[in-house]
Amino acid sequence: MPFEILILGSGAATPTFNRNCSAQYLTICGTQVLIDCGESTQNQIRKYHKKFQTIKAIFISHLHGDHFFGLPGLISTMHLCGRTEPLTVYAPKGARESLMLLFEVSGTELRFELTINEIDTLEPVEIHHDKNFRVVAFPLHHSLPTYGFVFEEFTPLLNLRPNVREQYGMSNDECVRVKQGEDLVLADGTVVPNVELTFPPVKPRRYAYCCDTAYDESIIPVVAGVDLLCMESTFGRAFEQLAKDRCHCTAAQAASIALQAGAGKLILTHFSARFIDTTPLLAEARSVFANTECAADGAIFKIENQQEQL
């Protein structure tokens, strides 16, 4: 099943002609979720022909406007377009109060169930799990309480080798237990080792989103080994002090995190409006971590399945 990230907004605090504020549309194991919801997110969803009524959950990193101010508008449009399916929002403290106030003063009485789960943690914690994946939130270093997210598939069951079911006359129950890792015990007491019956499943895929944050090595263990790491890169090396003062990262710092974490690939995003062209930021990052790409509005990044090594 596809694991796909559509960039809806790759800009920093101020939207530009080509870059909207932060938002990403994630399709994971057949489920659609949204990460951040800056201004214009609902227009971007339409522009790129995605459905907003199928979004099951929305993950807001922090309450700065460029990550949050599109949310009341999107929820209102979901309501006006007849949504009946429940929606869950995960966001830092303050989200519930501010959204409820807006809905109250605007006379908006939602027709669907809206659950707002506020995140408040100093440690990585699982905040959401679906049938096929889970989401872990962890604190970032920014000027407001801010959280990164790791989206990870559950480890699939082992696969049965071809024909073993017929060869040993295995029942459905036995098949399930063998797929869960058990050996097979035959009627005469012979034990067939699991390794002779199965082969490893595909490797569970993992995606980490870290935006906004200052350079902070404490996140490395949490994002270690992810297939795809999205890091903010508001500035370049020439603005390193400004990045530090404003609790943001440079491209090279983002790449350093990717390198130390052993990420498969790095995406840079959240570019300051001062950078019309992101090529210099890409070059900076690639000098540290070669497998880097810059996000752009409308860009799609996919994580392909990989067979576990035998």
Residue of 5, 27, 64, 206 that binds Zn ion (CB under 5 A): 64
- Cα–Cα distance between 242 and 264 in angstroms, integer? 29
* CB closer to Zn ion, 64 vs 205: 64
Structure tokens at 41: 């997110």
Q: Name residue, tokens 């201004």.
A: 39
Cα angle: 272, vertex 279, 259; to 5 degrees: 85
Site string for Zn ion, 113-152 (x = CB under 5 A): ----------------------------------------
By CB under 5 A, residue 36 contacts Zn ion: no
How far from chain centre, in Å, is Cα 88? 15
* CB closer to Zn ion, 15 vs 205: 15
Size, binding site for Zn ion by CB under 5 A? 3
Q: Which of 66, 212, 227, 297 is catalytic?
A: 66
**Residues facing 118 on adjacent strands:** 91
* CB closer to Zn ion, 133 vs 209: 209
By CB under 5 A, residue 212 contacts Zn ion: yes
Residue of 11, 15, 26, 66 that binds Zn ion (CB under 5 A): 66
Site stretch for Zn ion (CB under 5 A), options 117-125, 126-134, 210-218, 254-262: 210-218
Which class for 81: exposed (0-12), middle (13-18), buried (19 or more C-beta within 10 A)?
Answer: exposed
184-187 — which CB contacts under 8 Å span 24+ positions? none
Look up 66 and say whether it is catalytic.
Answer: yes
Rounded alpha-carbon distances, angstroms, from residue 74 to 63, 116, 126, 260: 15, 15, 25, 37
* CB closer to Zn ion, 10 vs 32: 10
Q: Which residues are the active-site residues? A: 66
Residue ranges in contact with Zn ion by CB under 5 A = 64, 66, 212
